[in-house]
Structure 1
């Protein structure tokens, strides 16, 4: 593969990125429409949360099967199929007035969404040299998050103006458009437009999944994704807009601006984290732990603030949450470096389960706590939200234990293979010993 990718490689990546961006728009559309959905379907916080939980449950449950299908059928077919399935879900959401119809719509969105991200991610090592993969992996995940801006600003504006049906029909139209673009522009590899892998058999399916899961590096990727991603996903997908408006008392326009800032922070931090991963691959876990600590401190400041937090404090929270997306992408780098190419789709699917399982559990727990506090009424106060949001620390603690345990196991496996990861304190101590001492000239 050429060291400098050509215009064709960038065109393929851009088409995949457009498909992923619209997938994120579909994924997060219910978050900005949460309060409208409660009035349209006459439901409480717990039932509203169950919509998002079901969507994420479908998404997470399909990650491993989609990973296997990706290894078999390639990116093009899965990206196009996913875009059309999500468009169908949004069209149904636009027209239904029943809870059953809304549930079916979110199932379709979750299923199509599951096909998109890892399929686009699979294109990167096919079209770009290995040295560019960590940064472009970050860019894929983070530029795609511009879909949150599309839901937080134009979709929210259409909801507040023309209304529900127009907003979701517009989202469905965007899905059909990117399906056409993907069909026209995507190629699975530089050599073949459609690349098919070996046929899926039960034996191969079980072997690939078993070998991917057995490697502690894959599990380290899963727990990394689990712990770094869920706080931002919970905020953007479901509870951020209600928290800022009903809890903190902000106007819709201000809340939309903060959600836009959330995306911009991730887009700015992603390339930096990608370069650090590229230059210091044996120190990736320290970046992960730094992101987790920053998220915990951001929420701790807001939850400990008496009453409603001032806008600068909320901005600090948004900046902290914005680092979660780039941090979660390190999980996919673990999958790439600890697994051979023939099971990369499977390993990536396993990793991608983590953050969305954590997110769906947290979304549902927050909804149940809010319902318990208000008796199912949608009149939440800041005290209700503070108690509900604090449950994130419990979920994060579970993930942190998983990271530390599997980091130890992965390092042991690497040592068996001849790669020794020295403790960071030893590396820093050696650098201090080797650092040149300043020359002090004698006075004359």
Structure 2
């Protein structure tokens, strides 16, 4: 089968993106039922924070190893098994009778989720020409935000209609069916092996890893992504909906609309940031503006002691999402700064920074919330002090973007040295 000219490649594209849509929705969907989990399982805000963090922790740990495994054995097996693991984790979550089972379910979901991005990109690069791939990768990136969008009002209605356990069970079942679909699409129909064994140069990989971990540029991008991703994903996956319900007295569905505003911003922010950077032919300056806007926006929550006017909150959530959408500039910077042979590893390293902050923020926020509520008895005060966490993380992201040296900046420095 001539993959690049086959009509079947569009069925591959649709199937893979459909799977990614539902897998990404399960990153943040549990945030819709935070209050229900606390009530049903009698757990604290700290435990909820850890529960939200564990999936991102597993995702973070597996990013670089997954890239190496995909190069070694091919992407088909890992994408298929990832969809199934995410589905099984979601089903177990819906059937849980104890908090330990909830943690186990989120670990399974995080393991499955960790397979998706690297392997999806590799699969699409196999089925599409370089020109088509460049056009389609933007749509692929936006699908993740559409998955987050799916996990707001639509899934909130589904929960209200069925109850949270049947809703999550049905989502898990659908993901398992996606895994079966991928077996047909990626293996059976094109008659491709599920494993593709390739020889890799272990010594060379070790040298590359050592060089990446000692690179100022790589660490700058790690910090950039740390500041912009976790402040958004970490918050909406755990405390966004409870914030609207507890501080503004909103229903779950109404509070999920706040999250949806952020996701709409993210959908706009991704192509907008790329367009601005390409028009200006630079990455650093627009990225500095993005990080400053993000820092300013989170700081407003502190100015109003955690309780800004509602109309302002809707604007703030939209702007936070808009800034998050610009995180694609991190990977544009990777492609500009590193050779193709190293860009995958550096992308994984930078992505690790982003999801490390998504691991830390829910836990820190939850611990602060528990402590302040015990001391003051005020939920609003708890959220006020909790908002110091995304502000600090945004400062770290700003430091990262300032440390980043653009290609032309490096060339100018080299000219001065000579």
Check whether TM > 0.5. Answer: yes
Aligned length: 412
Residue 325 (structure 2) aligns with: 326
Query: What corresponds to 2:66 in structure 1?
Result: 66
Q: Deviations over 1:351-408 (max 9, x none)?
A: 210111112222111111001011399x862222111112211122223223222327
Equivalent pair of 1:225/1:329 in contact (CA under 8 Å): no
The corresponding residue for 2:335 is 336
CA distance in structure 2 between the aligned counterparts of 1:407 and 1:303, rounded to whole angstroms: 31
TM-score calculated relative to the size of structure 1: 0.83
| Structure 1 residues 306 and 370, CA gap change in structure 2 (3 angstroms) | closer
Cα deviation for residue 217 of structure 1 reads 4.2
Separation of aligned partners in 2, 1:123 and 1:223: 29
SS of corresponding position for 1:198: coil
Cα deviation for residue 215 of structure 1 reads: 4.6
Contact 2:224–2:396, Cα closer than 8 Å, also in 1: no
1:52–1:312 Cα change, 3 Å? same
User: Aligned pair 1:407/2:405, yes or no?
Assistant: yes
Cα separation, 2, equivalents of 1:6 and 1:97: 48
Matched, 1:310 2:309: yes
Alpha carbons of structure 1 residues 219 and 27: separation in structure 2 relative to 1, 3 Å: same
Aligned to 1:384: 382
Q: Which range is displaced more, 134-143 or 237-246?
A: 134-143
Deviations 1:215-246 (A, max 9, x none): 54433432222122122112221111111111
Query: Contact 1:134–1:278 at 8 Å: present in 2 too?
Result: no
Q: How far, CA to CA, are the matches of 1:124 and 1:56 in structure 2?
A: 24
Decide whether the 8 Å contact of 2:58 with 2:111 is kept in 1: yes
Provide closer, same or farther for how the CA distance between residues 321 and 144 of structure 1 changes in structure 2, counting only shifts above 3 A.
Answer: same
Query: TM-score normalised to the size of structure 2?
Result: 0.87
Shift of 1:114: 0.7
Preserved CA contact (<8 Å) 1:134 1:275: no
* Distance in 2, Cα, partners of 1:40 & 1:75: 39
Equivalent in the alignment of 1:271: 271
Q: Is the 8 A contact 1:234 1:240 kept in 2?
A: no
> Measured at CA, do residues 414 and 307 of structure 1 come closer, stay the same or move farther in structure 2, by a change above 3 Å?
closer
SS in structure 1 opposite 2:162? Answer: coil
Q: Name the structure 1 match of 2:37.
A: 37
Retained in 2: the 8 A contact 1:302–1:313?
A: no
Tell whether the 8 Å contact from 2:76 to 2:123 is kept in structure 1 after alignment: no
Match of 1:218 in 2: 218
Distance 1:196 1:278, change over 3 A: farther
Q: C-alpha separation between the residues in 1 aligned to 2:353 and 2:138?
A: 17
Distance in 1 separating the partners of 2:304 and 2:227: 24
**Aligned-partner SS, 1:392:** helix
CA distance in 2, matches of 1:396, 1:364: 17
Offset of 1:171 from its aligned partner? Answer: 1.5
RMSD: 3.1
SS in 2 for 1:407: coil
Alignment of 1:127-276 (within 5 A): 127=127, 136-186=136-186, 196=196, 198-200=198-200, 202-276=202-276
Query: Partners of 2:378 and 2:44 in 1: how far apart?
Result: 11
1:27 shift after superposition = 1.1
Determine helix, strand or coil for the equivalent of 2:249.
Answer: coil
Change (3 A) 1:414 1:92: farther
Whole-angstrom CA distance in 1 between matches of 2:95 and 2:86: 15
Question: Which consecutive unaligned segments of at least 5 residues does structure 1 have?
Answer: 421-444
Alpha-carbon distance in structure 1 between the residues aligned to 2:186 and 2:324: 25
- Residue pair 2:247, 2:379 contacting (<8 A) in 1 also: yes
1:98 Cα deviation after fit: 0.9
Decide whether aligned partners of structure 1 residues 269 and 143 sit closer, same or farther in structure 2, where only a CA change above 3 A counts.
same
CA distance in 1, matches of 2:221, 2:230: 14
**C-alpha distance in 1, partners of 2:278/2:130?**
10
1:29-55 deviation digits (Å, cap 9, x = unpaired): 221121111112210000110111221
Distance 1:394 1:417, change over 3 A: same
Greater CA radius of gyration, 1 or 2?
A: 1
1:81 equivalent to 2:81? Answer: yes
Answer whether contact 2:29 2:155 (CA < 8 A) is retained.
yes
Structure 1 contact 229–327 (Cα < 8 Å) conserved: no
* Offset, 1:210: 2.3
Question: d(CA) in 2 for partners of 1:147 and 1:86?
Answer: 14
* Distance in structure 2 (CA, Å) of the matches to 1:279 and 1:145: 24
CA drift of 1:82 comes to: 0.8
Corresponding position of 1:441? none
Unaligned runs of 5+ in 2: none
Contact kept? 2:373, 2:379, Cα under 8 Å: no
Q: Secondary structure at the match of 1:308?
A: coil
Please give the secondary structure, in 1, of the residue aligned with 2:199.
coil
Change (3 A) 1:365 1:198: same
